[in-house]
Amino acid sequence: MQLDSRPILRFPLNIDRDKLALVLSNDTENISFGGIGPKVGADVIEFLNLRPSVKELIASLKGEPAEIFEFLRILVAEKLASESEPTFYTGSQIANLLQQFFSDWNEVLFSHLLWTSLASGGASEAVLDGWLVETYHFIRGANARLSYAASQTVDLRVRDIFVHHYVEEYDHYKFFAESLRRHGIGVDAVERLRPLPSTSAVINMMRRAARIDYLAYAACSGLLESTGCDSSKARSFYGDLASHYDKSGSRFVEPMLNHVELDEGYEHGNVMADIFKPIQRIEPERANRIVECVYQFKETLLFWFDDIQAFYFRNQFDETKLHRNYR
């Protein structure tokens, strides 16, 4: 590493200072550092966000220059930081980076209690009903988010992809409406009682992404589509639902399986790559904004799962109500 290098942190990276050691964490592991004071190490991490050179960083901090230099070298060697940021990224580089994130994030998302309890049969009937209701609202939300994303897109090539995607997606909520009907839940009541605020938050987060940058929306959409890329896992999950919760033989899972097959045929898992890969230049500031936005979307999805689990654990969906109380 050179003294004029300007190291940059690799996203995401969090700092946890304790009395004995500096602990850094990302989405997959916690890393504990010895040999450097926790405060000095944390200060190095925080100062890196200002993009100083190694020489400027050493001069700004109270610590042994050799110790700080070695700490920076280790951060780069462990791929927690890059020695310098390129002047630009290609769309392929961003797409490949996002796919790496999605692989890790999907492990986190689908190890959530909501999904594991449904797959194991441990969730109550009320939680199952709530999951069906909120999933219906979310799928119907394609009309609020995909059309909006197209309207916010100035690149005609990307806009055409969004429009094509929307044409294929706009009526997919009907599969989930049929699942609700077979399961004995009236769609009219579901519409009247409206979604949970957290379901609306997921939809609104995607609309916000479209306002920030149409490529940020494409990244968020890519995360959603990546969750359904492994159709064998989806079929296994729905098979578990049927075996645990369809004792009456209503076949309420069947429409959702049909939806999996339709999306598989449309190859929606390739949409994000189709958008990003022809792009030859994405400025670092824009790339950082895209990644930050999709990370926030991942966190919003986790909060959504928390909310469905917590709300319907205590509140059964009641079609007779004119409105429902939240919390």
Give the bridge partners for 16, in sequence order. 23
Counting runs of H as helices and runs of E as strands, what totals does the chain give? 16, 5
pTM: 0.85
Could you tell me which of 185, 209, 166, 196 has the C-alpha nearest to residue 309? 196
33-54 pLDDT, tens digit each: 877 888 888 888 888 877 788 8
Residue 287 pLDDT class (50, 70, 90 cuts): very high
| H or E stretch covering 31 | strand 30-33
* Predicted pLDDT of residue 201: 97
Rounded average pLDDT over 17-41? 78
| H or E stretch covering 99 | helix 91-109
Could you tell me which of 259, 262, 214, 246 has the C-alpha nearest to residue 91? 214
Which 3 state secondary structure label does DSSP give 36?
A: coil
Beta-carbon contacts of 289 under 8 Å, excluding residues fewer than 6 positions away, are 212, 213, 216
- Which of 124-159 are b and which e, b meaning 16 or more Cβ less than 10 Å from the residue's Cβ? eebbbbbbbbbbbbbbbbbeebbbbbbebbeeeebb
Higher pLDDT, 289 or 270: 289
Question: Given a cut of 70, is residue 59 above it in pLDDT?
Answer: yes
Strand 8-9 relative to strand 14-17, pairing: unpaired
* Predicted pLDDT of residue 32: 84
Give the bridge partners for 14, in sequence order. 25
Domains of the chain: 8-67+75-82 (no CATH), 91-314 (1.20.910.10)
Question: Position of tokens 């939240």?
Answer: 326
CB 52 within 8 A of CB 44: no
